[in-house]
């Protein structure tokens, strides 16, 4: 019988072209959607923390500039920039609004339903960047348009996934009718039901759509460069918008 040493096989495999998805991610077959499940797990753990103490919501929800529990001025404009990110892992507590526990249940169902497919075609890092930047885009639009309003939820990130599913589905020639229907229904609810942050939803939708377009339509010869540059560019634009708004609020002293 023939025999090949492990080192020889490894060396030979270096020259073997690894299979890729249509968007450049490594095609690993039906791999476990690690990022999707991790995000769901984080949101679930944070929700348990919220149930144990309402202070979690006050300390980490999205607000540009507002009055905290003890009367102090809080918000992104006061240096608490982390609220732009932490808010996307928070959800309404029971009795905290129109949707209560259904808020987290719907968002996690949506993430579970469409996250694995996007994660497989994009790869883990592209998918994670899409999710986080979409959520950040929603927070930034709220900061720009209504800085004194508070908000929590992964909805901005979820709307970004909706947009990406549509854009990538169109690019790959898939059926996009169901996602269009789901998106339209959610947009109607967004603007029809009081107490919903439309800024978070629309900001996430636009950010996710822009980033997904860069992922989907990057020319093959420059795909890797575009896939790195696009999320970096989106992050820079969002950071600049936050800096400009912070300077505006600081100079005007809205609540002071």
Q: Which helix (H) or strand (E) holds 66?
A: strand 66-67
Backbone angles phi, psi at 26, to 5 degrees: -65, 130
Return the active site residues.
155, 201
> Can you tell me the mean pLDDT for 26-37?
79
CA dist., res. 231 & res. 191, Å (int) = 28
Rounded to a whole number of angstroms, the distance between the first and last alpha carbons of the chain is: 83
- In eight-state DSSP terms, residue 94 is T
Residues 6+ away with beta carbon under 8 Å from 141: 199, 200, 202, 203, 206
Whether the Cβ atoms of residue 20 and residue 27 lie closer than 8 Å to each other: yes
Quick count: other Cβ atoms within 10 Å of Cβ 255? 16
**Is pTM, for the whole model, over 0.85?**
yes
Asked if residues 189 and 98 have their Cβ atoms less than 8 Å apart, the reply is no
Tens-digit pLDDT profile for residues 59-100: 999 999 999 888 889 999 999 999 999 999 999 888 655 567
């Amino acid at each position: 019988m023939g025999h090949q040493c492990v080192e020889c096989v490894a060396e030979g495999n270096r020259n073997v072209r690894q299979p890729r998805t249509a968007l450049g991610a490594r095609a690993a077959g039906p791999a476990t959607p690690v990022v999707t499940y991790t995000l769901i797990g984080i949101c679930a753990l944070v929700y348990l923390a919220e149930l144990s103490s309402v202070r979690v919501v006050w300390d980490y929800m999205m607000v540009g500039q507002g009055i905290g529990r003890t009367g102090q001025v809080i918000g992104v404009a006061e240096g608490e920039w982390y609220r732009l990110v932490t808010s996307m892992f928070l959800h309404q507590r029971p009795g905290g609004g129109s949707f209560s526990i259904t808020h987290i249940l719907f968002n996690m169902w949506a993430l579970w339903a469409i996250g694995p497919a996007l994660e497989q075609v994009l790869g883990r890092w592209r998918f994670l960047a899409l999710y986080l930047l979409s959520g950040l885009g929603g927070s930034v639009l709220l900061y720009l348009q209504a800085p004194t309003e508070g908000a929590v939820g992964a909805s901005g990130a979820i709307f970004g996934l909706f947009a990406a599913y549509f854009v990538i589905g169109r690019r790959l020639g898939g059926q996009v009718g169901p996602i269009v229907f789901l998106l339209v229904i959610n947009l109607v609810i967004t603007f029809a039901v009081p107490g919903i942050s439309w800024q978070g939803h629309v900001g996430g939708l636009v950010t996710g759509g822009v980033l997904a377009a860069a992922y989907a339509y990057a020319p093959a010869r420059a795909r890797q460069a575009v896939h790195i540059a696009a999320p970096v560019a989106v992050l820079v634009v969002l950071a600049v918008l936050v800096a400009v708004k912070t300077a505006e609020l600081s100079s005007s002293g809205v609540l002071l």
